[in-house]
Amino acid sequence: MSGQHEVLIIDGYSDEPAGLGVPPYIDVYPRYIAGAIWAVNKSTNIVYLTVDEIRRNFEKFTKIYSRVKVAIFIAGVCVPGKYLSGDPIKPEELALWSKLSDKPLKILAGPVARFGLGTEGGKLMELPEKIKEGFDLIIKGDPELVIYRLFKEKLNIDAVDPCEIRDNYKLVDVFSRLGARIIKQHPNYGLNLICEIETYRGCPRHITGGCSFCIEPLYRGVTYRDPSGILREIKALYNQGARSFRLGRQPDFFAYQSFDKGVFEFPRPNPEAIENLLKGIRYCCEDLETLHIDNVNPGTVFHYEMESTKIVKAIIKYHTPGDVAAFGIESTDPRVIKLNNLKVMPEEALEAIKIINRYGKMRGWNGLPHILPGINFVYGLIGETKETYILNYEFMKQVLSKGYVVRRINIRQVLPIPGTRIWSQGTSIISRHKQYFKKYKTLMRKFIDMPMLRRVLPKGTILRSVYTEKYLGNKTL
């Protein structure tokens, strides 16, 4: 290794309501951070390792760690889930690895630094003291901005504000382009690596408080990213060999560049802006393999059927089939919906599913439906009772009986995060309802998931351009 500063970025993976960084996805954090460092000195030598690479070759990691000047740990799971191709860093690993050497300046960044460490639903997000004591700098603000200032100040941690938050995308647009080359060090590079792309942050529903458990309203207002900045980043990634992209870093893709931002809870979508963005991506990346979106507010779809239909058609025109419009329905219990300020009532959610299905369930060239809703349920919310579980199950039976198709159903327990309204309640409801959660999750998987999967992929379906990730006996995943 050579260079003015020898830097090690440890990617412990991140998963937030608006953003995924568990393989095969690479999130914005390592790319922005690398770009921020290279913006100060383009000759800085940066080594990037994922947590799974470290586990596979711990000796290699310790050798690098003992001689670098700066070690940056990225971590934070705010959306509990199970992963096929990666295992997020564990609390004991963070605590132990940070103390392996006294030499590097040790920095903790990502959701773990701001909100705490969550490993699974039903547990509070907190950062234990044993982890804090292993780091010289814990960044509660925007990591790329704080690290940029830190390197400008020649690594003087007293000269930076660890809570600094950006209010625009001016520097991000620079860092994202400069940091694109870090993807070449990802173990999935050249295979099935998918680059997560940010279009905006902040929830349009922040004016009513947003959902009780979500971190997006904590950003207060909505800040849209200029399409030119997005396109330049994607082009830079493409030039470095990236061929798969997901426009996933936003709470509602259909609300990108929407009209009446900050005026209405559900601002009117801007189909033209979204189509121009998608068209621009296709223009600058002629040979891309995957272009998907993530996160769609079912309330936006319900309230603006015409605009949403135009957006679905634009997505079908420019994306690659197999796309998912993740619907954060969370609950179909009217009482829970009201107490947690959720997005849609059950009849509205059903209509939103119908609207996406109208064109989205058509099959594309690779054998998959173009774009289908993905349904998210969260348990442990304020006001939840046994009836909540029954209502959610009956709702999905209704979806099935009406002939609608959904790509997948995520069933999670809430992760109480500091700053959210549900933090004060903690995990009390989850503890009381453990038996309901287990029972109805099993029912959902057996009687809803399996028939729905057969509807998504009926027997005899030919799938093209498939990447296999796991082999279990005679089964391929």
**144 lies in some domain:** yes
Looking at the fold, whether 131 and 197 belong to one and the same domain comes out as: no
CB 285 within 8 A of CB 234: yes
Looking at the fold, whether 323 and 258 belong to one and the same domain comes out as: yes
**118 lies in some domain:** yes
Q: Note the pLDDT tens digit of each residue in 189-240.
A: 999 999 999 999 999 999 999 999 998 888 878 999 999 999 999 999 999 9
**464 lies in some domain:** no
Q: Note the pLDDT tens digit of each residue in 406-419.
A: 999 999 999 888 88
pLDDT, residue 87, reads 93
Average pLDDT, integer, range 237-252: 97
Closest CA to 97 of 110, 112, 108: 108
Q: Note the pLDDT tens digit of each residue in 63-80.
A: 999 999 999 999 998 776
Place of tokens 């199950």: 393
Closest CA to 231 of 294, 283, 292, 288: 283
To the nearest whole percent, how much of the chain has pLDDT over 70? 96
Q: Is 92 helix (H, G, I), strand (E, B) or coil?
A: helix
Burial class (CB in 10 A: 0-12, 13-18, 19+), 461: exposed
**170 lies in some domain:** no
**254 lies in some domain:** yes
Looking at the fold, whether 134 and 217 belong to one and the same domain comes out as: no
Looking at the fold, whether 152 and 200 belong to one and the same domain comes out as: no
Looking at the fold, whether 347 and 444 belong to one and the same domain comes out as: yes
Q: Is 155 helix (H, G, I), strand (E, B) or coil?
A: coil
pLDDT, residue 294, reads 95
Looking at the fold, whether 221 and 148 belong to one and the same domain comes out as: no
In the 8-state DSSP scheme, what is residue 472? E
CATH number at residue 54: 3.40.50
pLDDT, residue 17, reads 83
If one counts the domains in the chain, the total is 2
In the 8-state DSSP scheme, what is residue 89? P
**10 lies in some domain:** yes
Q: Per DSSP, what are the bridge partners of residue 296?
A: 327
Q: How far apart are CA 184 and CA 15, in angstroms?
A: 21
Looking at the fold, whether 155 and 201 belong to one and the same domain comes out as: no
Residue 446, CA atoms < 13 Å, CB-side half-sphere: 6
pLDDT, residue 124, reads 59
pLDDT, residue 442, reads 96
Beta-carbon count within 10 A of 343 CB: 25
1: confidence class by pLDDT, cuts 50, 70, 90: very low
Cis omega (within 30 of 0) for bond into 251: no
Q: Note the pLDDT tens digit of each residue in 129-177.
A: 889 999 999 999 999 999 999 999 999 999 999 999 999 999 999 999 9
Q: Note the pLDDT tens digit of each residue in 89-136.
A: 999 999 999 999 999 999 999 999 998 876 555 565 678 888 999 999
Average pLDDT, integer, range 440-463: 96
Asked whether the predicted pLDDT for residue 360 surpasses 70, the reply is yes
Per the prediction, the chain carries an average pLDDT of: 94
Beta-carbon count within 10 A of 334 CB: 13
pLDDT, residue 75, reads 95
CATH number at residue 214: 3.80.30.20
Beta-carbon count within 10 A of 165 CB: 13
**468 lies in some domain:** no
| Backbone dihedral angles phi then psi of residue 164, each to the nearest 5 degrees | -65, 130
DSSP letters spanning 268-282 = PP-HHHHHHHHHHHH
Looking at the fold, whether 149 and 202 belong to one and the same domain comes out as: no
pLDDT, residue 419, reads 85
Stated length of the chain: 477
Looking at the fold, whether 426 and 289 belong to one and the same domain comes out as: yes
Looking at the fold, whether 25 and 121 belong to one and the same domain comes out as: yes
Flag the least confident range among 30-44, 103-117, 339-353: 103-117
Range(s) of the domain holding residue 116: 6-159
**414 lies in some domain:** yes
Q: How far apart are CA 351 and CA 204, in angstroms?
A: 21
Burial class (CB in 10 A: 0-12, 13-18, 19+), 20: buried
Answer with the one of 136, 159, 182 that is the final residue of a domain.
159
Structure tokens at 165: 């938050």
pLDDT, residue 118, reads 66
CB 70 within 8 A of CB 107: yes
Q: How far apart are CA 142 and CA 202, in angstroms?
A: 14
Looking at the fold, whether 269 and 357 belong to one and the same domain comes out as: yes
447: confidence class by pLDDT, cuts 50, 70, 90: very high
pLDDT, residue 4, reads 53
Looking at the fold, whether 332 and 419 belong to one and the same domain comes out as: yes
CB 117 within 8 A of CB 125: yes
